[in-house]
Amino acid sequence: MNLLILGGTTEASRLAERLAGHTKIAATLSYAGRTEAPARQPIPIRIGGFGGVDGLVAYLRDHAIDMVVDATHPFAAQMSEHAVAACALTGTALLVFSRAPWQRQEGDRWIEVADNAAAAAALGATPRRVLMTIGRLGLSAFLTAPQHHYLIRTIDPPDDADVPPDHRLLYARGPFTLADELRLMREEAVDIVVTKNSGGAATYAKIAAARDLALPVVIVQPPARADVPTCHDLDACMAVIEAHVSAP
């Protein structure tokens, strides 16, 4: 069976490791190309966009793909929409393998918003020290709130035109420990955290640290996905894939 993983996440990498060397599945991991130095993988990879729905349809047909696993970031809405459309047009099986979003716990001071523009507005007019962990894309939304000081944690450098004037860049890749996040927030005198509800364990420590320090968190909720079979667990994902291999 030929399987295409739409990746760029920890989940995609874990699935690639599980599928490496599988005798009945030839898997390829696709990166959108937004991460400049993707981690090495044990299966073949491709990097770059497909060229919209039509391009993805052509790829699925040209490579005789039997199944697509959408393991993209929970906020990669466009790619997920394209996968739904392309798989419908080609009759290709589609499975979403995604981390479950974080759930509010007692003591959390969440300000839940729909997008980055709403997150910028939620910071208010009074200048604050903001720990920003939304990645390098979408920072331009905060140009409307230049009064704040932003500590921007990112993996890759953002475009200069996108960052608010009062900022400092912190290049780092998770996972992060609770102790590290507490130390960072205290040393930087952080007043408020801005993040995405991307789920998973790798970056949850910032949520726990903010809760321990009674800091508010402006948290952007993930976009709604189409009604597609979804797994939040690697073993469950593999069970669905194996069942497809065994199907007549």
Mean pLDDT across 136-162: 95
* More confident site: 35 or 41: 41
What digits encode the pLDDT tens for the residues 94-142? 999 998 899 999 999 999 999 999 999 999 999 999 999 998 889 999 9
CB atoms within 10 A of CB 230: 16
Measured CA to CA, the distance from residue 18 to residue 16 in angstroms comes to 5
- What is the mean predicted confidence (pLDDT) over 61-71? 97
Res. 212: pLDDT tops 90? yes
Asked whether this chain's domains 2-100+224-246 and 109-220 adopt the same fold, the reply is yes
Average pLDDT score over residue span 167-195: 95
What is the CATH code of the structural domain delimited by 2-100+224-246? 3.40.50.720
Mean pLDDT, rounded, for 152-161: 94
Selection from 15, 55, 66, 14 nearest residue 32 by Cα: 55
Distances (CA, A) of 63 to 60, 96, 218: 5, 20, 42
User: What is the mean pLDDT of the segment spanning 89-96?
Assistant: 97
Mean pLDDT value across the chain: 93
Confidence of residue 38 (pLDDT cuts 50, 70, 90): low
* Residue 209 pLDDT greater than 60, yes or no: yes
- Distance, in Å, from the CA atom of 77 to the CA atom of 140, rounded to the nearest integer, reads 19
Q: Is the pLDDT of residue 237 over 60?
A: yes
Residue 35 has pLDDT above 70, yes or no: no
CATH of domain 109-220: 3.40.50.2000
Q: pTM of whole model > 0.85?
A: no
Taking residues 21-46, what's their average pLDDT? 83
Q: Write down the domain spans for the chain.
A: 2-100+224-246, 109-220
